[in-house]
Amino acid sequence: MGIYKYEGVSSLGRNVNGVIEAESQKAAKLKLKQKGIYATSVIEKGVAETLQKKETLSISFGKKVKDSDITMMTRQLATMINANIPIVDTLSALADQVENERLKIMLTEAKQKVNEGVTIADALSPYTDVFSPLYINMIRAGEASGTLGLVMERLAEYTEKQSALKNKIISTMAYPVLMVVVSIVIIGVLFVFVIPKITAIFDDMEIALPIYTKILIYLSNFARNNALYIVIAVVLFVFGSLRYIKTPTGRKRWDGLKLKLPLFGKVVRLTSVSQFTRTLSTLHGAGVPLLQALEIVINVVDNTVIKDALKGSKDSLSEGQSLATTLSKTNEFPPIVIHMIRVGEKTGELEVMLKHVSESYESEVETRIETLTSLLEPTMIILMGGAVAFIVMAILMPMMKIAGSAV
């Protein structure tokens, strides 16, 4: 008797896995069938562990699957499904076409599972770090309703919109962040290496130094004598902060702080609300029940404050209250969003209203980010210029006094 590791789908359509004792692989499959489990993989335990180690090693060294890879794959998948190409052939073509090695492995494995009778959603569901709950549930809803092509188009549009917004935010904020880093590096070099050599001249001269020159010398000496400790302190602070933010309490406080920040807090809230409305619109339009769609949205939204508000709304929604009423009690969503959702529920056009809100907020987010960037650039230039002016004045004034006394 041997021990076999299996993966399969139960009679209820759920993914199951475990081990079973049988005389052979064929006998193991027969036992599983008698238990109502359709086996997609049955491998002797020792062999399975070896293969799993190889697969883990292969995937871990593979390139990370980027959002752009998923976006392109989704659009191609929608196009081929709408062209009535068999799903196995579609997955095979995608696996041959994609360049990312990890995604290629996933699609190849998914094709094999689909070829054995597993649904596309179940075939992709093991890769939770690549395909979000939204992605899997959208596909499952499309397969159940027979509108997979339409659903994939909606999903492709959703991923493209989300990717475009994310790239817009990153590209817009890249220049101000670069300016901050460069400014810190330049000032650090001046304080540690340049200023001490210049101010050493003042040590030999018995002249009264202005207060700003004394401050400059003190800061320069402190930075030079404690440079290593400063670097270590900064690294420890950043590392500790990141670790704390990863904890549930730290993440909630950090997300709450982001919502309260002047100027930036409004952008964070608009981004989260836009993410919520577009995701819910996409799911609702694909035929996913509202309560189930809200559960998926909770897993998709990034900000924990908004996430907790949606959890409370879900509980109230399950008790029979309307979505607009439940959201209005949280005080986390703008009144216009509540109003649009209420109108959508009354007219039966909730998907359309949510889509209008998301598009409006995405546009507002882009506008606000561009405005903030246009304000940050001159602000950084002024701060940098002020720091340089202070250094120059603190050095130049004593030098002029020395030159005057020499004459």
| pLDDT for 56 | 47
> What pLDDT digit, counting tens, does each position of 344-370 carry?
989 988 888 988 888 888 888 888 887
| pLDDT for 241 | 92
Q: How many percent of the chain have pLDDT more than 90?
A: 7
| pLDDT for 61 | 43
Average pLDDT for residues 130-141, to the nearest whole number? 81
253: confidence class by pLDDT, cuts 50, 70, 90: very high
Range with the largest mean pLDDT of 133-137, 304-308, 381-385, 403-407: 304-308
Q: Around Cβ 262, how many Cβ atoms within 10 Å?
A: 6
**Would you say 157 and 134 are in contact if contact means Cβ atoms under 8 Å apart?**
no
| pLDDT for 406 | 57
Handedness of CA 361, 78, 294, 296 (dihedral sign): negative
| pLDDT for 116 | 82
How do the domains of the chain map onto residue ranges? Answer: 2-60, 67-160, 173-407
> What pLDDT digit, counting tens, does each position of 158-195 carry?
788 778 777 877 777 777 778 878 888 888 888 888 77
> What pLDDT digit, counting tens, does each position of 260-269 carry?
888 788 888 8
| 407 pLDDT more than 70 | no
| 77 pLDDT more than 70 | yes
Task: Provide φ and ψ at 403, rounded to 5°.
Answer: -65, -40
Average pLDDT for residues 88-100, to the nearest whole number? 85
CA of residue 355 relative to chain centroid, distance: 21
**Would you say 396 and 213 are in contact if contact means Cβ atoms under 8 Å apart?**
no
Average pLDDT for residues 230-250, to the nearest whole number? 91
| pLDDT for 59 | 44
| pLDDT for 164 | 79
Identical fold for domains 2-60 and 67-160, yes or no, is no
Average pLDDT for residues 74-88, to the nearest whole number? 88
Q: Any idea which fold 67-160 has?
A: Receptor-associated Protein (1.20.81)
Average pLDDT for residues 8-23, to the nearest whole number? 74
| 124 pLDDT more than 80 | yes
Q: How many percent of the chain have pLDDT more than 70?
A: 91
Q: Name the token pair of 315.
A: 């509980």
Q: Name the token pair of 359.
A: 């598009």
| pLDDT for 235 | 93
Q: Which residues contact 150 (CB under 8 A, 6 or more apart)?
A: 142, 286
| pLDDT for 301 | 80
Handedness of CA 166, 340, 304, 266 (dihedral sign): positive
**Would you say 341 and 144 are in contact if contact means Cβ atoms under 8 Å apart?**
no
Average pLDDT for residues 373-397, to the nearest whole number? 82
Q: Looking at the domain covering 2-60, what would its CATH class be? A: alpha beta
Rg over alpha carbons for the chain, rounded to the nearest Å, is 30
**Would you say 18 and 25 are in contact if contact means Cβ atoms under 8 Å apart?**
no
Give me the DSSP letters along 104-152: HHHHHHHHHHHHTT--HHHHHTT-TTTS-HHHHHHHHHHHHHT-HHHHH
As beta bridge partners, residue 6 has: 18, 42
Strand, coil or helix: 332: coil
Q: Helices (DSSP H) in 190-287: which residue ranges?
A: 195-203, 211-225, 227-246, 248-260, 264-285
> What pLDDT digit, counting tens, does each position of 32-75 carry?
888 888 777 777 755 444 444 444 444 444 457 887 888 888 88
**Would you say 287 and 145 are in contact if contact means Cβ atoms under 8 Å apart?**
yes
Task: Provide φ and ψ at 94, rounded to 5°.
Answer: -65, -40
| 236 pLDDT more than 90 | yes
Q: Which residues contact 305 (CB under 8 A, 6 or more apart)?
A: 252, 255, 256, 259, 332
To the nearest whole number, what is the mean pLDDT of the chain? Answer: 81
Task: Find, among 39, 34, 10, 36, the residue nearest to 113 by Cα.
Answer: 39
Handedness of CA 42, 47, 53, 59 (dihedral sign): negative
Give domain 173-407's CATH number out of 1.20.81.30, 1.20.1510.10, 3.40.50.300, 3.10.310.30: 1.20.81.30
Average pLDDT for residues 197-214, to the nearest whole number? 76
- Spatial distance between the Cα atoms of 156 and 77, rounded to a whole number of angstroms: 9
